[in-house]
Amino acid sequence: MRWDRSHESSDIEDRRSQGGAGGFGGGGGGFPLGLLALAGRFGWRGILLALLVIGAMTYGPRMCATGPEPAERAQVVERGGGQDELARFVGFVLDDVQDMWARELNGYKRARLVLFRDSVASACGTASAAVGPFYCPLDQRVYIDLSFYDQLRRRFGAAGDFAQAYVIAHELGHHVQNLRGVLGRGEVDSIAVELQADCLAGAWGRDAQRRDLLEAGDLDEALTAAAAVGDDTIQRKTQGRIQPETWTHGSAAQRRAAYERGFDGGPRACGI
């Protein structure tokens, strides 16, 4: 992907120097019930993480969380230019995606993006990095620990800068949904919400291609990333079996198709 390596975003909040936020607050009830309630806000991966943490506390070292070890975290973004360059890249994508939505949607209100390490406090509660990137509609912020990108590459085979850009565009798709009143309604199926966010990420990909930001192979990187975070892919890699009845984000095929729909047809193809 072509991007300005000197770019600095004014919508980035860098909390990485604060370290872990400590504890799991914000959920109703006591631990571990409060942890489960909070984790549910971040989909089945959050619930899985919570169960692993509770199991580790209950049964000792036989169970462990799925996030990278501290020694790994120190190295995950040292490849390809280092952590500062990756943070600038994320800021460039953040601004580029939001500039598109400002052109497409009247009255678009910009989101902010928080960089953190290990865990972070948001208006939606405190979350571990192992939950992965997430959008909190209560404070209109995207949260990401950059070590997630190493997990995406190493565990799920989704490498490349446009795969990384897809993640940011997807989370900002949730921001668009929030501004349009789609999030927070109990009657909305979560899979449909996630697939629409994938479609909206694809709509930005289409716009980036029109402006000659894409390079050879970038679209394939995004499609690989979309498939890598499909519920069936994650379940197969983490628990060895697929349980469609527990899906919250859609299958690999569904997520690829949703991204392609936005890439081919733009925002209107996504219902926006």
The average confidence (pLDDT) of the chain is 81
Contact 131, 26 (CB under 8 A): no
In the predicted model, is pLDDT for residue 72 greater than 80? no
Q: pLDDT grade, residue 20 (50/70/90)?
A: low
Q: What is the Cα–Cα distance from 162 to 142, expressed in whole angstroms?
A: 18
The model's pLDDT over 136-168, given as tens digits with 9 standing for 90+, comes to: 999 999 999 999 999 889 888 899 999 999 999
Q: Which domain holds residue 112?
A: 12-23+70-270
Residue 52 lies in a domain: no
**CA-atom Rg of the chain in angstroms:** 18
Q: Inform me whether the pLDDT recorded for 18 exceeds 90.
A: no
pLDDT at 3 over 50: yes
Average pLDDT of 212-236?
94
Q: Identify whether 40 is part of a domain.
A: no
Answer yes or no: is 202 within a domain: yes
Using pLDDT thresholds of 50, 70 and 90, give the confidence band for residue 219.
very high
**pLDDT of res. 54:** 39
pLDDT higher than threshold 50 for residue 90? yes
3 state DSSP class of 125: strand
Tell me which amino acid residue 141 is: R
Distance separating alpha carbons of residues 256 and 119, to the nearest angstrom = 29
Q: Residue 7: what residue type?
A: H
Amino acid 81: pLDDT: 52
Least confident of 44-53, 110-119, 230-239, 263-272: 44-53
Q: Is it the case that residue 260 has pLDDT exceeding 80?
A: yes
Task: Work out the percent of the chain whose per-residue pLDDT is above 90.
Answer: 62
- Please, which pLDDT band fits residue 25 given cuts at 50, 70 and 90? very low
135 phi/psi in degrees, rounded to 5: -115, 130
- Count of structural domains within the chain: 1
Say whether pLDDT at 35 is over 90.
no
What is the b/e burial string over 234-262, where b = at least 16 CB atoms within 10 angstroms of the residue's CB? bbeeeeeeeeeeebbbbbbebbbbbbbbb
Higher pLDDT, 49 or 168: 168
pTM score, whole prediction: 0.78
Q: pLDDT tens for residues 127-136?
A: 999 888 999 9
Q: 37 lies in a domain? A: no
Q: Are residues 247 and 195 in contact, defined by beta-carbon separation less than 8 angstroms?
A: no
Residue 19 within any structural domain of the chain: yes
pLDDT of residue 82: 67
Is the pLDDT reported for residue 109 higher than 90? Answer: yes
Does residue 33 belong to any structural domain of this protein?
Answer: no
CA–CA separation, 17 vs 127, rounded Å? Answer: 17
pLDDT of 45 higher than 70: no
Residues 165-212: tens digit of each pLDDT: 999 999 999 999 999 998 865 455 689 999 999 999 999 999 999 999
* Average pLDDT, integer, range 3-19: 92
- Kindly state whether residue 42 falls inside one of the protein's structural domains: no
What pLDDT, on the 0 to 100 scale, is given for residue 19?
63
Tell me what the mean pLDDT of segment 99-107 comes to.
97
